[in-house]
């Protein structure tokens, strides 16, 4: 199943920089692992924001939920999820 996921990150300014940097490094490694596994198909940065729009290809809603809640930055995110289906006019 394909899902469009919009994530906006809001790390509190009270979080120590070293801790924030460690969480961001873990986030990058985890997201790249999911990309290599073919679960996180695309990721685009939203210009001017600490946000992204991503496409996930997972078995079901539960798998997506599990992947998203395992993101190290999850506690600092606002997330919006929309299921996708193939458009009848698509040629590919």
The pTM assigned to this predicted structure is 0.92
Average pLDDT over residues 56-67: 98
b/e burial code for range 64-82 (CB count within 10 A of at least 16 → b): beebbeebbbeebbeeeee
Domain map (residue ranges) of the chain: 2-84
The string of pLDDT tens digits covering residues 1-34 is 999 999 999 999 999 999 999 999 999 999 999 9
Share of the chain above pLDDT 90, in %: 99
Q: What is the DSSP letter of 60?
A: S
Class (C level, CATH) for 2-84: alpha beta
How high is the pLDDT of residue 40?
98
Distances in whole angstroms, Cα of residue 12 to Cα of each of 8, 26, 47, 73, 84? 13, 17, 20, 11, 32
How high is the pLDDT of residue 92?
79
The encoded tokens of residue 65 equal 């939920």
């Amino acid at each position: 199943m394909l899902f469009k996921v919009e994530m906006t990150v809001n790390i509190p300014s009270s979080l120590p920089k070293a801790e924030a940097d460690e969480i961001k490094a873990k986030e990058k490694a985890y997201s790249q692992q999911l990309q290599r596994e073919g679960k996180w198909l695309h990721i685009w940065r939203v210009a001017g924001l600490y946000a992204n729009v991503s496409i996930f290809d997972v078995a079901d809603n539960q798998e997506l939920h599990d992947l998203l809640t395992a993101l190290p930055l999850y506690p600092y995110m606002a997330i919006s999820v929309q299921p996708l289906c193939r458009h009848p006019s698509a040629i590919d």
